[in-house]
């Protein structure tokens, strides 16, 4: 069996899309976070948290909002850090690497259609 080092998922954004800027002035960067409910998943399955960085995260904030249906590529990333007390911790994060398909049903999309702007739908 091959290891899983990337994947693709389609689902609905079920949380607010938040963005934070933890970098210093020397190395500024942004982290965009949101939760996605996988399309076809039962109500018992929890939403999955995703992260995106820098330009890709900025695009997500501009283009999407809670309730939008999106398809995206991701890769797992293991974060390791040490607490102030010296205890080592780790967490598996899913990092968005690309959004190849746009299936927008949210308010931002409706506003664009109402304004007469052209909307591309790549499936």
Task: Tell me how far the alpha carbon of residue 37 is from its chain's centroid.
Answer: 11
Ramachandran region, residue 67 (left: φ > 0; alpha: ψ -120 to 50; beta: rest) = left
pLDDT at residue 121 is higher than 80 = no
CA distance 3 to 69: 28
Is 75 a residue whose pLDDT tops 70? yes
> Which pair of structure tokens corresponds to residue 49?
């948290």
Give tens-digit pLDDT for 85-114. Answer: 999 999 888 999 988 755 555 545 444 444
pTM: 0.70
Question: Could you give the C-alpha distances from 23 to 7, 49, 86, 95, in angstroms and in order?
Answer: 28, 21, 22, 18
Domains present along the chain, CATH in parentheses: 7-114 (2.40.50.140)
């Amino acid at each position: 069996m091959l290891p899983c080092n990337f994947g693709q998922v389609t689902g609905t954004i079920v949380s607010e899309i938040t963005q934070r800027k933890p970098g210093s002035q020397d190395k500024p960067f942004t982290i965009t976070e949101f939760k996605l409910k996988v399309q076809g998943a039962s109500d018992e399955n929890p939403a999955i948290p995703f992260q995106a960085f820098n330009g890709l995260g900025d695009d997500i904030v501009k283009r999407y909002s809670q309730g939008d249906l999106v398809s995206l590529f991701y890769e797992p990333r293991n974060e390791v850090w040490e607490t102030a007390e010296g205890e080592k911790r780790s967490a598996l994060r899913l990092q968005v690497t690309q959004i190849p398909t746009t299936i927008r049903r949210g308010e931002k999309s409706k506003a664009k259609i109402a304004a007469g702007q052209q909307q591309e739908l790549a499936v």
